Amino acid sequence: MGRAKLPRKSTSIDMTAMCDVAFLLLSFFILTTKFKPSEAIAVVTPKSVAAKVAPQKDIVEIIIDKDGKVFLAMDDEGKKEIIANALNDTRNLGLDVNAFKKAQFFGASFASLASFLKLPEDQRKGNLLPGIPIQDTANNELVTWMALVRDAYQGQKPNLLLKGDNMAKYPAFKSVVDAFKKNEFLKFQLVTNPENVPEGTDLWKKAQSGEKRED
């Protein structure tokens, strides 16, 4: 007697519900993902094996782009307000104090600083700005900026960072360091692009032995 044949059933699956879930997940990630904005000042920092992490608070950062233009950035709005008021009092610049506090960085001469603060954000790009004048000793406005920073911190030392582009020339760095020295900022940290320590070097051997590094 032959075996009874069972009727074949369809193996098709209704994917409607799965498609709905996938679409909802895709919509969620699109709405919640934050894309990294392009930097206002493009800088390619040199590579380094230094392991020290840059501080995240009380930062005063001096930035040198590839053309040697200099910019200053601060994170403390209270200190920026002090500096804005000092500039209005001593130089009568008529600065918008609130706009000064909210500015991510400064990259113009004192004479054009008020106009700089009126620029829309999309025009505050390093390649479109002249930077802080540092041409020579007689016209190094960064010296004044650092004096304003020193007075705003009232004896306390901010975390001073220097971020320079690989292509920036020595005279720009010298002018910046001169401005530091004239205001007794003798300690600062270079911002670099970290990389692994090359194998076989003395520093690599120290790391392998567990010896503490001094950066």
Q: List pLDDT tens digits, range 138-186.
A: 789 999 999 999 999 998 889 999 999 999 999 999 999 999 999 999 9
Residue range 31-42: mean pLDDT, rounded:
58
With H, G, I as helix, E, B as strand and everything else as coil, classify residue 83.
helix
Whether this model's pTM surpasses 0.75: no
Whether the CB-CB separation of 137 and 176 falls below 8 Å is answered with no
* Higher-scoring residue by pLDDT: 13, 124: 124
DSSP output for 122-187: GG--GGGS--S-BSSGGGBHHHHHHHHHHHHHTTPPPEEEEEE-TT--HHHHHHHHHHHHHTT---
Distance separating alpha carbons of residues 113 and 12, to the nearest angstrom: 69
Tens of pLDDT, residues 52-63? 666 778 999 999
Is the pLDDT at 196 greater than 70? The verdict is no
Q: Which of 193, 170, 190, 174 is nearest to 44 (CA)?
A: 193
- For residue 211, pLDDT beyond 60: no
* Per-residue CA distances from 13 to 9, 23, 98, 184 (Å): 12, 18, 61, 75
To 5 degrees, how large is the angle CA 86–CA 108–CA 136?
95
The enclosing H or E element of 48 equals strand 47-48
| Range with lowest mean pLDDT among 90-99, 186-195, 203-212 | 203-212
φ, ψ dihedrals at 64, nearest 5°: -120, 120
Which three-class secondary structure state does DSSP give residue 111? helix
pLDDT interval class at 35 (50, 70, 90) = very low
Reported as a single tens digit per residue, the pLDDT across 62-119 is 999 999 999 999 999 999 999 999 999 999 999 999 999 999 999 999 999 999 999 9
Q: Where are the domains of the chain?
A: 47-194
pLDDT for 139 equals 85
